[in-house]
Amino acid sequence: MSKITIGKAINAGMRRAMERDPKVVIMGEDIGKLGGVFRVTENLQKDFGEDRIIDTPLAESGIVGTAIGMALRGYRPIVEIQFDGFVYPAFNQIVCQVAKMRPRSLGKIKLPMVIRIPVGGGIGAVEHHSESNEAYFAHTAGLRVVACSNPEDAYWMIQQAVESDDPVIFYEPKRRYHEKGELDLAGAAAPRPLFEATIARPGEHVTLATYGPMVKVCLDAATVAAEEGKSIEVIDLRSLSPLDLDTVATSVEKTGRLVVAHEASTFLGMGAEIAASVSERCFYHLESPVIRVGGYNLPYPPSRLEEEFLPNLDRVLDGVDRALAY
């Protein structure tokens, strides 16, 4: 067992994937010599060569579009988008081409590519580097969308995403890249299936569902809540499309209350879908309406204000208290 950062865990996972399958290549800006602006691809070009770790021109639509061409030719590209806010030039290629090519071809084409996106705020950055745009892609049929929250998940999920024959948008919690966690690199434990949620912390009174960078915030909130006598069950959703509603529903049937937390704006965020689905599935179990805790409905503010914008432990616990008040 060793302690490893999320960034290094993803690096290790990609390394394993590339060792296993010579068709796996990584394409992105500054990923070669520099090792990526978050060092997630560090040393990979040194070991696998420029053929397989491809520094691309500075054009995101081009990265995704040429990756599609590579995939058509039989390769399994991992695309690195440097920051969440930079994915928008590639939005057309992702939504119109990556997502639709398989149904368009009646199943004759598959695009087994992974698009890795560092997501979320809390890094004190300038504009466009702290976005949470997972709802756009989760809403796009034809894509699969996952979000890891810890090193162990990061290590296994990136490998599973590469192995999937479907295109996967892989969100990485950028403010957690350098946070360490346990990972048994030599461990033989079978990893959790990619598209399943997990109970990160069991509880009795309230279900708190979240993903990505907010998982740690919610776990901390649960620890504080326990001191107040409130037992919170924290669910790490891990997969946003498809959504593992079974795990959420089972939990809500036990607790009767659900709070969903994410950095993305509350309005029309992932919480809206989960709230609607759970309201339908667990109607007779609900003691309170589903409470959502998310960012405000405004563009991500300047870094001096981001702590006011981001849902933090206090806002999460306020949401829990609102649910318990019913």
Partner 1 sequence: MAVRHFNLPDPGEGLVEAEIVTWKVKVGDAVKVNDIIIEIETAKSLVELPVPFAGTVTALLAAEGETVAVGTPIISVDDGLGGDVAPVAVPPTATSDDDEEIEAGKIGGAAPGGRVAVLVGYGPRVTEAKRRPRRGGAAAAAPVVQSRLSEPVAAEPVVVQPASVPPTGSGRALAKPPVRKLAKDLGVDLSQVAGSGEGGIVTRTDVQGHAAGVGAAAADGGALLAEYAAPVFAATAEREMRIPIKGVRKVTAQAMVSSAFTAPHVTEFVTVDVTRTMRLVDRLRTDREFRDVKVSPLLVVAKALVLASRRNPGINATWDEAAQEIVVKNYVNLGIAAATPRGLMVPNIKDADQMSLRQLAEAMADLVSTAREGKTQPAAMSGGSITITNVGVFGVDSGTPILNSGEAAILCFGAVRRMPWVVKGKIKARWVTQLGLSFDHRLVDGDLGSRFLADVAAILHDPSQALVWG
Partner 2 sequence: MSDNEVAMPKEAVDAAAVAALIAPVPETVGGAELVQLLTPEGERVEHPEYSAYIADLTDEDLRGFYRDQVLIRRVDAEATALQRQGELGLWASLLGQEAAQVGSGRALRPQDYAFPTYREHGVAWCRGVNPLNLLGMFRGVNHGGWDPNENNFHLYTVVIGAQTLHATGYAMGIQHDHAVGTGDPDRDAAVIAYFGDGATAQGDVNESFVYAAAMNAPVVFFCQNNQWAISQPVERQSRIPIYQRARGFGFPGVRVDGNDVLAVYAVTKAALDAARSGQGPMLIEAYTYRMGAHTTSDDPTKYRVSAEVEVWKLRDPIARLKAYLTSSAKADKAFFEAVEGEADELAVTVREGCLSMPDPEPLSMFDHIYVEDHPLVEAERAGFAAYSASFEGDH
Active site residues: 129
CB 248, min distance to partner 1, A = 12
* 184 part of the interface to partner 1, by CB under 8 A: no
* 166 part of the interface to partner 1, by CB under 8 A: no
Quickly count helices (H) and strands (E) in the chain: 12, 14
CB 185, min distance to partner 2, A = 27
d(CA 304, CA 157): 33
Member of 42, 287, 318, 321 binding partner 1 (CB under 8 A): 287
Could you tell me the two tokens for 115? 């698009």
* 325 part of the interface to partner 1, by CB under 8 A: no
Question: Of 7, 49, 16, 15, which is closest to residue 32 (Cα–Cα)?
Answer: 49
Q: Which does 109 bind (CB under 5 to 8 A by kind): partner 2, partner 1, none?
A: partner 2
CB 253, min distance to partner 1, A = 6
Q: Which is nearer to partner 1, 232 or 264 (CB)?
A: 232
Percent composition of the chain: helix, strand, coil (DSSP 3-state, to 5): 40, 20, 40
Binding site for partner 2 (CB under 8 A): 25, 51, 56-57, 59, 61-62, 64-75, 89, 92-93, 96-97, 100-110, 112, 141-142, 144, 164-166, 241-243
* 322 part of the interface to partner 1, by CB under 8 A: no
| Residues 6+ away with beta carbon under 8 Å from 138 | 145, 240, 241, 270, 273
Contact present, 207 and 40 (Cβ < 8 Å): no
Member of 188, 283, 298, 325 binding partner 1 (CB under 8 A): 283
CB 95, min distance to partner 2, A = 10
Which residue type occupies 170?
A: F
Q: Which does 254 bind (CB under 5 to 8 A by kind): partner 2, partner 1, none?
A: partner 1
Q: Which does 204 bind (CB under 5 to 8 A by kind): partner 2, partner 1, none?
A: none
Contact present, 203 and 255 (Cβ < 8 Å): yes
Residue 303, burial from CB neighbour count under 10 angstroms (0-12, 13-18, 19+): middle
CB 281, min distance to partner 1, A = 6
Member of 254, 267, 296, 321 binding partner 1 (CB under 8 A): 254
Place of tokens 């397989």: 52
CB 247, min distance to partner 2, A = 12
d(CA 77, CA 172): 17
Chain centroid to Cα 17, Å, comes to: 19
d(CA 256, CA 288): 7
Give the angle subtended at the CA of 284 by the CAs of 282 and 289, to the nearest 5°: 70
Q: Which does 287 bind (CB under 5 to 8 A by kind): partner 1, partner 2, none?
A: partner 1
d(CA 202, CA 141): 32
Member of 69, 124, 202, 289 binding partner 1 (CB under 8 A): 289
Contact present, 47 and 80 (Cβ < 8 Å): no
Q: Which is nearer to partner 1, 16 or 281 (CB)?
A: 281
* 284 part of the interface to partner 1, by CB under 8 A: yes
Stretch that binds partner 1, among 73-81, 127-135, 141-149, 247-255 (CB under 8 A): 247-255
Contact present, 78 and 167 (Cβ < 8 Å): no
Question: Of 200, 205, 198, 322, which is closest to residue 252 (Cα–Cα)?
Answer: 205
* 51 part of the interface to partner 1, by CB under 8 A: no
Q: Which does 322 bind (CB under 5 to 8 A by kind): partner 1, partner 2, none?
A: none
Name the residues that contact partner 1, by CB under 8 A.
249, 253-254, 256, 280-281, 283-287, 289
